[in-house]
Amino acid sequence: MNKIKKTGGNRKYTVFWPIVFVAPFVICFFLFNLFPILYSFQLSFYDWSGVGEKTFVGLANYVRIVTEDKMFLKSLGNTLFMMVISFPFAIIFGLVISAFLSNLKHGRRFFQTVNFLPYITTPVAIGLIFTFLFDRNTGMVNRLLELLNVNGLNWLGNPRLAQVVIAIMIAWKYTGYYMALYLAGITSISEDIYEAARVDGAGALTIFRKITMPLLKPITIFIIVTSMIGGLQLFDEPNLMFNVSTTSVIGGPDRSCLTLLWNFYDVAFGSTAKLGYGSAVAVCIFIVIVLISLIGMKLMNRKEDVI
Amino acid sequence: MKKKVLGVLLACAMVAGMITGCGEKGDTAAPQADAQAKTQDSQSGEAAGGSEGSGKTVTIWTWDYDNTLMMAEDFNKVYPDIQIEVVNVAYSDYFTKIQQAVASGSELPDIVAQSCTLLKNYGELGIFEDLSKEPYNVDSNIFFDFIKDRAVMEDGSLIGIEESISPSAIAYKRDLAKQYFGTDDPDELAKIFADPSDYITQGKKVQEESGGEAYLFHAAGAVAEWLYFADTTPLETNGTIDFTGKMTGTINMLCEMRDNKVVDTYENGTAQANATYSDDKHIMYPCPNWAINYYIKANDADGSGNWGLMMPATGGYSCGGTSLGITNTSDCKDEAWQFINWCLMTKDGAEMMRDRLNFFVPTKEFFDDPEFIGGEDEFFGGQDIESFFYKDIVNSIGTLTVSQYDQTVIDIRDLLAIAVMDDPNMTAADALAKGLEEAKNRITDMEVK
């Protein structure tokens, strides 16, 4: 009798309660994540503007993305370019700043907070600040250039320079976040290893190169993988930067800042909404992100093998 | 036992917390997702005329929140029993939210504000009452000719009534006009700028005399907007988008202005561009009637007496505008119609729109009354800008046809304005070719030439 009671009690704790506590998440996941994903996949085979009848078009939407839609490829190129010229700098700066801060005796918390602030600043404010900084006629950056007898640049009107401004914005925003991650990693490295290196006569640079950097490799790989995924989902920064007036154009000058997600948003929800085609674009973005993530996971696995 | 009860209660609370907010009628409206959305019931004033009300609430989504609130306040003085709920939705999100609400089957507002460049797109949603039929019976012939068919769809249905006819002219700073052109009289200036090429000649003169400091216009985007709406070439004819025909004049003029430094390099509509309204380096601004409050007075509050309005060389044009339409799923269509009808189609409403919003409704007959418009405007140096806008300008406006691709082409127009100003070597032909390629890529279900 006791045994039966005990089994019943165990079931309560191993089956009933876990289900009760996990159920809300699972239900929400199915309703708000899985169902929309599957529905989008289904929609991608239709021509549908959001109202009226859906028309089945098979793979036509995908064929158009691959063969005709210059904007998809352009947005992919824009996104990769802005990723490449921004995230490496943010990662390097984050690592270097964390290395300096870890050795700082006084004011460490202050500098940590200052560097982390951009990450928690509201994106709307960041967009406005950068618009004011880089304005062609009244921006601070051009004023400084003029003081140095250099002609001001059309930062927000020139396609390439606009991408550079977005890259600066991303680097500025994420450096503090990466610094915090690296600082946590540095803190976990045993002081004994540093002590031993110093006893062996290693200098600060050697210690950084031979001890700190290798031991932070797992964190670096994590940062690179999440940066790649986050970078491919770039939307807020360029959108806020080039959506400051009613006459702003989609994607900034020459669509140079049109990212994958901005292009998807415009195709799916713009003035000429095509939800079917937009869904196909979303599926393609999903595939691109999965591929990049798989490469990242491979890197992480390789790292674990090494350890 | 207490712990178990507590655990059950907590679990229930968590589940309830997640599913609440999904069922309330008011919460299903798309704007609720907008953190910036703010709602406010209009305050009921004293009943002036008295009317039997139903006690229902009419919901309006609008980006023009303050003006719509004023309309609701005055409406409630006559119809105190009809509550008007004004929901603020950002302009850039507006059409998307309507589309999403339609696609998801969410509750739509009773009244939708339809931007003039998206009228065809709104019509295609199929969600509006035909105001030309029972019980509304609006005959669009009572409106000004250039605007009467704007909200009429291909099937003949009238999906909205314009709030304001948006006549547009050129505003100028009187002190700078005197300095560079020797006069601040609008008629004299209209003679100096009688032909579009005069803007180039006079713009060059301004540059020379100011040592390169002053410009005739502040932003290529503003000039492009003026030239685009002043050009009555139809964008869409017989299933073809005539991008080249519609844009050639605008782009040619823009390139010529750039080459002769007639226009400065500000991006239209930005805070930096708006600051030029109060400087002494930019003289003229393309100016729809609504821009007087939105741009001129907002950015040059101390400029009273220093502004004038003149006839553009292209003639008057109509720029911007919003129509109000009633959704066919509304459960208070009668009340929604009473609001639209009183504000936009009665003399009392028209006077309210004129006095409180500076808007002039599209019904022609009100303008036949000589006392309806007219009077000196101190801000404009004593000029009678109402008569100017609603007699001189209105009579010179050509009719523009609308297309579902208006907004798409306008986006490309602004893209080209930025590109032309960035690259001094870009010719009009280059810009047009680039624009045509863009248009072909974005418009896939029609021929684009």
**Which pLDDT does position B2 carry in this prediction?**
53
Determine, for residues B18 and A20 on separate chains, whether the beta-carbon distance falls below 8 Å: no
Residues on chain B touching A24 (C-beta within 8 angstroms): 14-15, 18
Residues B194, B243: one domain?
A: yes
Q: In this structure, which amino acid lies at residue A134?
A: F
Q: In terms of domains, do B180 and B79 share one?
A: no
How many angstroms separate the CA atoms of A45 and A278, rounded? 10
- Selection from A232-246, B47-61, B155-169 with the highest mean pLDDT: B155-169
Per-residue pLDDT tens digits for B267-283: 888 888 999 999 999 99
Residue B118 has pLDDT above 60, yes or no: yes
- Residues B101 and B243 both lie in one domain: no
List pLDDT tens digits, range A44-94: 999 988 777 889 999 999 999 998 888 899 999 999 999 999 999 999 999
**What's residue B21's pLDDT?**
34
Structural domain boundaries of chain A?
2-61, 66-306
What CA–CA distances, in Å, run from B14 to B11, B23, B137, B317? 5, 17, 53, 58
> What pLDDT does residue A12 have?
79
Least CB–CB distance from B102: residue in A27, A50, A69:
A50
A151 interfacial to chain B (CB closer than 8 Å): no
Q: Are residues B194 and B226 in the same domain?
A: yes
Residues B229 and B358 in one domain: no
| Whether B101 and B44 share a structural domain | yes
Q: What value does the mean pLDDT of chain B take? A: 84
Residues B276 and B352 in one domain: no
Q: Percentage of chain B surpassing pLDDT 90? A: 55
* Pair (B288, B267) in one structural domain: yes
B5 belongs to a structural domain: no
At residue A247, the pLDDT reads 56
Does B54 score more than 80 pLDDT?
no
Indicate if the pLDDT at residue B8 is higher than 70: no
Element (H, E) at B114: strand B111-115
Q: Which residues contact B168 (CB under 8 A, 6 or more apart)?
A: B226, B229, B286, B287, B288, B289, B291, B312, B316, B317, B318, B319, B320, B393
Judge whether residue B317 has pLDDT over 60: yes
Regions of chain A short of the pLDDT cut 50:
1, 306-307
Which chain A residue is nearest to residue B103, measuring alpha carbons? A50
Selected for mutation to probe chain A from B122, B258, B267, B437 (highest A CB count within 10 Å) is B267
Q: Are residues B250 and B188 in the same domain?
A: yes
B204 pLDDT band, cuts 50/70/90, is very high
* pLDDT value for A302: 64
Residue of B nearest to A243 (CA): B92
- Give the pLDDT confidence score for residue A237 in this predicted structure: 86
Coil vs helix vs strand at B336: helix
Q: Which residue of chain B is at minimal alpha-carbon distance from A132?
A: B272
Size of interface A-B (CB pairs under 8 A): 110
B276 and B224 together in one domain? yes
- The answer to whether A127 and A240 have CB atoms below 8 angstroms apart is yes
* Domain region containing B247: 167-319+377-448
- The domain that holds B430 is classified in CATH as 3.40.190.10
- Average pLDDT rounded to a whole number, residues B120-137: 91
B230 vs B318: CA distance, rounded Å: 7
Q: What's the pTM value of the predicted model, to 2 decimals?
A: 0.80
User: Residue B258: is its pLDDT beyond 70?
Assistant: yes
Query: pLDDT tens digits, residue range B171-187?
Result: 999 999 999 999 999 99
CB contact under 8 A, A250 and B411: yes
Residue B1 lies in a domain: no
Greatest mean pLDDT among A242-251, B38-47, B412-421: B412-421
Q: Is residue B17 pLDDT above 50, yes or no?
A: no
Q: Any idea what DSSP says for residue B301?
A: T
Arithmetic mean of pLDDT, B90-111: 88
Residue B194 in any domain: the answer is: yes
Considering the domain boundaries, does residue B8 fall inside one? no
Phi, psi of B332 (to 5 degrees): -140, 55
Number of domains in chain B: 2
CA distance B271 to chain A (A): 8
Superfamily per CATH, domain A66-306:
MetI-like (1.10.3720.10)
pLDDT for B328 beyond 90:
yes
The answer to whether position B400 is within a domain reads: yes
Q: Measured between beta carbons, which residues in chain B are less than 8 angstroms from residue A132? A: 271-272
User: Looking at the domain assignment, is residue B75 inside a domain?
Assistant: yes
Mean of the pLDDT values across residues B36-43? 38
Closest chain B C-alpha to A114 CA, distance in angstroms: 28
Tell me the percentage of chain B whose pLDDT exceeds 70. 88
Chain B closest CA to A174's CA: distance in Å?
25
Residue B12 banded pLDDT, cuts 50, 70, 90 = very low
> How high is the pLDDT of residue A245?
58
Closest to A280 (Cα-Cα) out of A58, A129, A9: A58
- Measure in Å the smallest separation between the Cα of B214 and chain A Cα atoms: 13
Residue B12 lies in a domain: no
Q: Do B272 and A137 touch (CB under 8 A)?
A: yes
Q: What is the pLDDT of residue B51?
A: 44
Candidates B15, B290, B422: best to mutate against A (most CBs of A within 10 A) is B422
Task: Give the residue ranges of DSSP H helices in chain A.
Answer: 2-11, 17-29, 35-43, 60-67, 70-84, 87-102, 108-120, 123-133, 140-147, 159-188, 191-199, 204-207, 213-215, 217-232, 236-241, 260-269, 275-306
Q: Scanning every residue of chain A, which has its alpha carbon at the shortest distance from the alpha carbon of B17?
A: A24
User: E-strand spans in B300-448?
Assistant: 307-310, 317-318, 322-326, 447-448
Cβ atoms of B159 and B153 within 8 Å: the answer is yes
Mean pLDDT of B282-303: 91
B301 and B345: one domain?
no
Is residue B65 included in any domain, yes or no?
A: yes
**Cis peptide leading into B135, omega within 30 of 0?**
yes
Same domain, B146 and B193: no
The pLDDT, as a whole number, for residue A5 is 54
